[in-house]
Structure 1
Amino acid sequence: MEIFDVITRLIDLRSFSNLWYWIALAAIWSSASHWVMGVPWDMVGRARRKGGDAAADLVQIAGVNARRLNRIRGDAGVSMAVSIPFLLSFLIITGFVYGSETAQAFALLLVPLMLVFGLSLRLAIRLEDALTSGAGAEFVIAALSRHRISIQTVGVISIIVTSLWGMFQNLRISLMV
């Protein structure tokens, strides 16, 4: 049984003391900042620098992703409006009222991501309306740039709050032992 004890000590399953949780947190926010509403950020930079075909490609892919998000909102809007708050409420209550560290970790990860999803849905509506009325690449670049700053702001605040809460939990547990 000694090998089992070594493995369980090596792989701590508490969320905030687990290295994999922090790696996942960093990867998720890095990915959210790079893929702005489904458009890779390097494509926005290329369209800003070069214009022409790169700008036309950006407008097309932004339009496709805006229509896709609006279609998802139209088709599954009611079910998302019910299931997402239910899931987040469940995680928040289970985590912060009943003390489940795993639920706290998921809540601190998913609540800000749902805020970013809501911001993306709002931008999709604006983008689709603007593109159907003939807005050009400059509008799309500016809108995606503002949206990326919003995502990064939410991400930084989320990482800071999660780090502080994780340190508090780790200190609390280490003092209890």
Structure 2
Amino acid sequence: MDWYSTVFELIDMRSFSNLWFWIALAVLWSSTSHYVLGVPWDMITRARKGHEQAMADMNALAAINSRRILYIGRESGLLLTGFIFFVLTGAFLMGWVYDREFAQAVLLLMLPMSLVWLLSVRTANRIEAEALEGEALISTFNRHRLLVQLIGMVSIFVTAMWGMYQNMTTSALG
């Protein structure tokens, strides 16, 4: 028996049975919940504990990234929204109407991330409107991170359930 065919038989290269897809999913949500509007969580933790330099850096990064996110939203928000809906609709149609597993996997990655983007725009808008700094900013970051983690948990659960369903139905047919 050929070694390559044995390996590829053992490790199926479809999306939901591919180890790289699950690694990408874990890295995506890990990095998404670690960087709160571009501010590393460890910096926020140090600022909460009273480290003055970390507080100053956190305030500066929050202001810079909030302005950046809002600039993108204000300058190209309508075009970006249309493009994102086009891609999500295309992935949905290819995934569930034409039964393409790769498109299903892409949609299950992109749809929750678009919700995180909307949440980030809302949080950036609040930071700018209320000129948040210090403890108020930390509280806002805590709430934002909690919501991102909730979206992530639901996303990972739905993706895992759909992936297991796909793997069981595909292996039953094959």
Q: TM-score, normalised by structure 1?
A: 0.93
Which residue among 153, 159, 165 is the counterpart of 1:156?
153
Q: What is the deviation of 1:11? A: 4.8
Q: Aligned residue for 2:84?
A: 84
Name the CA distance, whole Å, in 2 between partners of 1:53 and 1:173: 54
Q: What is the deviation of 1:4? A: 5.2
Name the CA distance, whole Å, in 1 between partners of 2:10 and 2:79: 41
Q: What is the deviation of 1:79? A: 1.3
Q: What is the deviation of 1:10? A: 4.8
Q: Aligned residue for 2:12?
A: 12
Q: Give CA deviations for 1:43-100 in whole Å, capped at 9, x if unaligned.
A: 1101100143321221111000000101111222121011000000110111012110
2:12 is paired with a residue whose SS is: coil
Q: Aligned residue for 1:54?
A: 54
Name the CA distance, whole Å, in 2 between partners of 1:86 and 1:148: 28
Matched, 1:119 2:119: yes
The amino acid that maps onto 2:137 is: V
* Stretches (4+) displaced over 4 A: none
Name the CA distance, whole Å, in 2 between partners of 1:77 and 1:153: 25
Name the CA distance, whole Å, in 2 between partners of 1:145 and 1:4: 48
Name the CA distance, whole Å, in 1 between partners of 2:164 and 2:96: 15
Identity rate, percent: 45
Q: Give CA deviations for 1:87-130 in whole Å, capped at 9, x if unaligned.
A: 00110111012110000001001100110011001111111112
Q: Aligned residue for 1:21?
A: 21
Which stretch shifts more, 8-17 or 54-63? 8-17
1:14 is paired with a residue whose SS is: coil
List runs of 5+ in structure 1 lacking aligned partners: none
Q: Aligned residue for 2:142?
A: 145
Q: TM-score, normalised by structure 2?
A: 0.94
Matched, 1:172 2:169: yes
Q: Aligned residue for 2:71?
A: 71
Q: What is the deviation of 1:29? A: 0.3
2:49 is paired with a residue whose SS is: helix
Number of residue equivalences: 174
